[in-house]
Structure 1
Amino acid sequence: MLTPNQAALDFLLTRRSRPAKTLTTPVPDRATLTTLLTAAARTPDHGKLEPWRFIVLAKPALNRLAGLVETRGAAIGIDPDKVDKNHAQFANSNLAVAVVASPVLSEKVPEIEQIYSAGAVCLALVNAGLAAGWGANWLSGWASHDRDFIRDGLGLAPHETVAGFVHFGTETNTPPERPRPDLTAITTWLET
């Protein structure tokens, strides 16, 4: 017999990320963030490989990363507007979690499925934050794909990548609803 959770379904049908640039203090404390991380870690994980991990970034770490964005961007010739945008992502944030894709060698589970799982962790973490009443936003940017930045800034191993930075805070305003996909344009029903 079905036991619907209408509140959860209503949440999912109306969820809306909060722009990171609109988030302010207070931010989740360690105990609250641990609960959010626990919820995100329940993401499907074929083979129970745990092909992802978390790096919690407090304000001092975010400021350090903002500085590294400027240094790295200038060194490799990134467009100054892109550098400024990525710098602001870190400099204006008060708490973020780097979700690190850390694939495990496996004969049964292809690396791409492990990467998908890391992306699912990002969404689960955003949704957990929103469900708990916090503002949350999943971002990336050019720096998250730069090997030197992620090695020097986050200590990632050569096989690891950043699936995303999930920012948390108190929302200062609720963004307007945005257009959503036209399901008739993106859905195919195979009935035979």
Structure 2
Amino acid sequence: MNENQPNTLTPEYFNHVYQANRDPWNFETSPYEQGKYAATLAALPRPYYAEVFELGCSLGVLTAQLAPRCGHLLAVDVSEAALAQARARCAALPQVETKLMRVPEEFPPQQFDLILLSEVGYYWSSADLARAADQLLAALNPGGQLLLVHWTPPVHDYPLTGDDVHQFFLDKTSPSGSLRHLTGQRHETYRLDLLERI
């Protein structure tokens, strides 16, 4: 990663995307997305997490699937258009709280047992990824888990690749870091890594 990369993508970028198409990445209908959601949920080793933080919840498709395993699930996004759909989708799930939030400029005050960073990290600049990583690790309870899931092919608009994001966090694993790597999977166009706070 170098510091000459593009800036973090703005909320305006995502608002334009959702104005042009209510489901721009086919989260609701794509067999690829459904398979990835299934792999994401299957990678979580615990049946229940008391406090969960999902960054970039978008339309709330994965949020609704994750919710039954959560005591409280804070799902955030930078796009109000996306959040409106997430709120409607999760309206019957009282454990789900949706909030407009731009990390790392804003960050929730509570501690979490699980943080899900799925298809978000490559939207940050290198500097914002570093800031966000510090916030995420500080917000994880000891033994708390961080699940990373990202598309790996380069995308012209995105400051980073999925591999950049995952490697940044993997560099923080033991023996000297604050994280332990529990499991990793590499699929044709995405990868998944589960980390745990030591």
Higher RCO (CA-CA < 8 Å; seq separation 6+): 1
TM-score range, shorter chain: under 0.3
Larger helix percent:
1
* TM-score of the superposed pair, with normalisation by structure 2: 0.27
* TM-score of the superposed pair, with normalisation by structure 1: 0.27
Q: Which has the larger radius of gyration?
A: 1
